[in-house]
Structure 1
């Protein structure tokens, strides 16, 4: 049975369905509520760091998909009762033609990652991935030759959603250059990681997630 998706933000129902399909590409567990004036993202299952990171990844995908339709998304994190306690709400912030960077990220989102190479030269990714993180108000710290630590400037639920957006933009930016980046598979103790990196990061940056090149 096909579930009817209402139009939203000036887009027809079919266009909204396409936006949601892309948004869910990296975070199938995120629930969307579509209303005429806004699209809400809700975490499913336990409300914890992992679900908020996933919500951030889906939010970045949704933003890019909307930008691909010429919509400038206006995002509010943790908007409260005005958005039924959603993790994030997207409203219409105006109209703007998608930039070449947005179109490249959308192609990366739609790409088959198995075709990407796995071991890029440092010169090919350092500036690209650092800029991607900075766009989302985050910071990338090189921990080893193939291991990166994504940091935010604050702690808390909103920072974790922001980290999810930054993580996804970094992953997609890597894809535009033909190589893979993904979250580390081994469990990481955040408290131990933060203690380990405090001498070089100080108290300004908050490590959120470990990313691996070529993963």
Structure 2
């Protein structure tokens, strides 16, 4: 049975359904509440780091899907009681035709392609992936030829949601260039990683996760 989805942000219910379907792709632990004036993202319990990172991934997906419909999303992280204590709330920030970069990222999200064949030269991807992280107020540190460390500028719940958004934008940007970036499969000891990188990153950047270039 199909459950009706109400309209929101000026979109009809069926368009909101399509937005949420795209946003849920490969994401678990995130629940959406649709209201006429906003779309809320709630993390499932326990409200830990992993669910907040997943929320960031879903949030970036929602933003891109809305931009594909000509909506400019206005996002508030951890908005408090005004948005029912959600992890993030998206309101209407205006209207704007999607630019080519947005359309390319949406194509990468929809196709989820993994066309990896060989390691590309560092210069061919470093700038693009670094800028993708910076769009989400994060920083990408190249630790080795195939290992990337995604950093934020602070710690806490909002930083973890932001890290999820940055990770997803980096992954999708890599997809637009025909290769794969994905989270490290092995568990990462963040405390040890931060201690190891403190000398080269200083105290401003906070390592949040390790990404790897190439198929896992």
Paired position in structure 2 for 1:204: 204
Residue range with higher mean Cα deviation, 81-90 or 106-115: 106-115
For the residue of structure 1 that corresponds to 2:18, the secondary structure is helix
For the residue of structure 2 that corresponds to 1:113, the secondary structure is coil
Preserved CA contact (<8 Å) 1:181 1:214: yes
Paired position in structure 2 for 1:40: 40
- 1:57 maps onto 2:62 in alignment: no
TM-score, scaled to structure 2: 0.97
* Distance in 2 (alpha carbons) for counterparts of 1:174 and 1:181: 6
Paired position in structure 2 for 1:144: 144
- Shift of the 9–180 alpha-carbon distance from structure 1 to 2, 3 Å rule, reads same
* Distance in 1 (alpha carbons) for counterparts of 2:50 and 2:117: 27
- Shift of the 21–117 alpha-carbon distance from structure 1 to 2, 3 Å rule, reads farther
Matches within 5 A, 1:1-215: 1-117=1-117, 119-215=119-215
Preserved CA contact (<8 Å) 2:114 2:178: no
**Deviation, structure 1 residue 119:** 2.2
Unmatched segments (≥5 aa) in structure 1: none
* Distance in 2 (alpha carbons) for counterparts of 1:55 and 1:82: 19
* Distance in 2 (alpha carbons) for counterparts of 1:72 and 1:191: 37
* Distance in 1 (alpha carbons) for counterparts of 2:206 and 2:36: 37
**Runs of 4+ more than 4 Å apart:** none
Preserved CA contact (<8 Å) 1:150 1:209: yes
The CA RMSD measured in Å over matched residues stands at 1.0
Preserved CA contact (<8 Å) 1:118 1:180: no
TM-score, scaled to structure 1: 0.98
